Structure 1
Amino acid sequence: MAFYPNTTSSADQVNSTTQWITKDALRRGDIIAVRANSAGSRMIRATTNSPFSHLILYLGNGLAIDAMPDPVGVKRDLLSRKLQEGHYSFAGVFRHRSASDSQLSLVANWAGSQINKPYDNASAARVGLQPGARTAGLRYTTPGALVTLIDVNQANSNPLGEDASFMCSELVFRAFQVAGIPLSERPAATLGPGSVLSVSTLAFVGRLEGVK
């Protein structure tokens, strides 16, 4: 296991890095934080006060999983295809500093068991309404999607249950929680893509080669 300094990453560090990582060097359980040049991606970043608009979990063997707005929901596919379809302009890789292979297998296997679960629109709205968000009262979806107003009360709870639906960051954080290596004490449904920057157990290992 490589050694990483026990510090959290900053947006400036991530944006200015000249360190690259190839797709072949990715490990199961790596978290890929991305953004695009689209209006939808810019809106997500603005509402969540984050340098990222989406999180993807790498499952190994070239496969990845994420959650996209309905009617897509949770889907597993080749990472290369997800990156191509998202037209991302930046992809940063975050890796758990100390998790064992067996723990990361639990992360990947549990996330994979959530395929076809619907998108959690209420949690996505809630994240944009938290303190620190720049534009309260907006509901976002994903790059290229429409942004619409949503009632605050509707965003306060998810009537479908904790694991009945997911937004992208919720799926990632929940997978680590279920595997017994939680990344945050906060509920997964309240964490946006930029939350990876404040996780001390995650190390930023570089930008993903081929996405720029």
Structure 2
Amino acid sequence: MFILDMLKLLPGDVVLTSEMSLQSKMVRKVTSSSFSHALLYIGASVYIHSDSSGVHSGNLQRLLFAKQSQAQVFRLRDRQEAKMAGICLFARTEIGKQYSVPEAIRSKMKRNSSSEANSNRQFCSRLVAQAYAEAGVNIVTNPDYCYPQDIANSPFMMKVRDCEQTLSDEEIEMVKSPSATDTQTKVINNLLTSIRILTNTDIQTLDQLTRYLYQNPECDHAISRILQSSGYLSLWKIDIKDCPWNYDSVKFLAKDGSRSSKLEYAGLLKEGAMNSLEIFIFMHSQHTQLWQEKQLHYFVLTRALYKKLIELATIRIATAEYILSHA
């Protein structure tokens, strides 16, 4: 069993996968493809993809494969950091959007056309291709309708080889244990489901929710109440509980592991925290402006959340920098 080595991957890389499941085999047969699924890596061991649970994030270190043929990494040939940032940001804004089997099926007829999607839904290869197209890079003929194999065949993409990392039995058990990202996915999906029921509108993402509330301020009280009861505002507590060493250099140094493994972890911690800090600062500024324009309680709650997330990301950066200097 193995996972992909996150030290070999860069933000914006695409991971195409296949499984031994009947569904994966059927998808590959119908699409004449070696792959049945597409993931977008955004850095610091985090990927975003669209599956039956909708668009959500995952931890690359918990993505387990039985054979090397089940996963292949692809990278843009003309890779530019500015474009990668835009690609990853688009994928983040799609989190929460529901998956559509019918839209994925329509790719068979529309992938070589200029047909645009008229559905507020996602599927795996569309998410990846649209993220690239949003940054001005059309890696497939039709970003709205495509197969994972279209991404593999794209002349704009190249294979990244030797990304596999073999695991011990103990590491395999850790990979199979419950993940915090699973809780996050459930909370966001339940939140958006409640919002759709309340508003009777097809709100699929938190960004769409913000736009709806701005246009319908009379819903502020009800939406704010749902947000507060959803658990979304306290998701940050999970990382503090599960990984207290991310916020305390003494606990970090006391962790088991070699010096090299601690330095590797600290480097990834800093990378992820810096990426998150940039996003949180932007979101705090955006929601501050929204609050100034419309003094809604929802924006009071989100501003406070992003302020807290900025604080926590800053602490993680400081912890990582201390370890990198003193370990």
Quick check: TM above 0.5? yes
Secondary structure of the 1:195 match is: helix
1:209 aligned partner: 164
Q: After superposing the two structures, state which structure 1 stretch, 51-60 or 113-122, moved more.
A: 113-122
Q: Percent identity over the alignment?
A: 26
Compute the displacement of 1:210 (Å). 3.6
Quick check: 1:127–1:190 contact (8 Å CA) kept in 2? yes
Compute the displacement of 1:51 (Å). 0.2
Letter in 1 for 2:157: L
Of residues 95, 98, 101, the one that matches 1:118 is 98
Quick check: 2:6–2:44 contact (8 Å CA) kept in 1? no
**CA shift digits 1:70-93 (9 cap, x unpaired):** xx1100121223x23xx5641100
1:92 aligned partner: 72
**CA shift digits 1:140-180 (9 cap, x unpaired):** xxxxxxxxxxxxxxxx98553xxx21100000000000011
Over 4 Å off, 4+ runs: 128-131, 156-159
**CA shift digits 1:45-69 (9 cap, x unpaired):** 0011000010010000110000002
TM-score, normalised to structure 1, is: 0.68
Of residues 133, 145, 153, the one that matches 1:177 is 133
Looking at both structures, which has the greater relative contact order when contacts are Cα pairs under 8 Å and sequence separation is at least 6?
Answer: 1
1:189 aligned partner: 144
Cα RMSD of the aligned pairs, angstroms, is 2.6
Structure 2 residues not aligned, in runs of 5+: 168-327
Quick check: 2:4–2:60 contact (8 Å CA) kept in 1? no
**Aligned equivalents of 2:25, 2:43: Cα separation in 1:** 29
2:51 aligned partner: 68
Quick check: 2:4–2:61 contact (8 Å CA) kept in 1? no
Structure 1 residues not aligned, in runs of 5+: 1-19, 132-155
Compute the displacement of 1:125 (Å). 1.2
Letter in 1 for 2:124: C
1:152 aligned partner: none
Letter in 2 for 1:93: V
TM-score, normalised to structure 2, is: 0.45
Name the CA shift for 1:88/1:126 in 2 (closer, same or farther; >3 Å).
farther
* 1:50 maps onto 2:33 in alignment: yes
Name the CA shift for 1:129/1:110 in 2 (closer, same or farther; >3 Å).
same
Between Structure 1 and Structure 2, the one with more strand by share is 1
